Amino acid sequence: MPKSKRVSPPAEGRKRLRLGLHQPLLDLIVTGKLKGGEKLNEVRLSKKLQVSRTPLREALLRLEREGLVRSDLRRGFTVEPLSAKEVREIYPLLAHLECMAVRNSAGFLSPVIPELERINRAFAGARTPERARELDTRWHETLMSQSRNSRLSAIVANLRLAIRRYEHFYMAEAKLIPASAAQHEQIISALRRNDMDSAVPVLEQNYTFGMRVLLRKMGEE
Confidence tier at 85 by pLDDT (50, 70, 90): very high
Lowest mean pLDDT among 53-62, 86-95, 139-148, 189-198: 53-62
Same domain, 99 and 67: no
Angle between helix 129-144 and 176-192 (nearest 10):
20
**Total residue count of the chain as it appears in this document:** 221
Final residue of a structural domain among 49, 79, 109: 79
Same domain, 170 and 203: yes
Residue that wins the pLDDT comparison between 5 and 213? 213
Same domain, 57 and 157: no
The residue-averaged pLDDT of 176-197 equals 97
Q: Whole-number mean pLDDT of the chain?
A: 90
Lowest mean pLDDT among 31-35, 99-103, 149-153: 31-35
Residue 6 has pLDDT above 60, yes or no: no
Confidence tier at 193 by pLDDT (50, 70, 90): very high
Lowest mean pLDDT among 35-49, 93-107, 170-184: 35-49
Same domain, 93 and 30: no
Report how far residue 177's alpha carbon sits from residue 174's, in angstroms, rounded to the nearest whole number: 6
The residue-averaged pLDDT of 136-140 equals 97
Residue 10 has pLDDT above 60, yes or no: no
Does the residue 22 lie in any domain?
A: yes
Same domain, 130 and 208: yes
Lowest mean pLDDT among 11-25, 154-168, 180-194: 11-25
What amino acid occupies position 59? A
What amino acid occupies position 103? R
pLDDT for 72: 86
Does the residue 195 lie in any domain?
A: yes
Give the contacts of 1 (CB within 8 A, at least 6 positions apart).
none
Same domain, 54 and 92: no
Confidence tier at 20 by pLDDT (50, 70, 90): confident
Same domain, 108 and 151: yes
State the Cα torsion 130-41-12-67 to the nearest 10°: 60
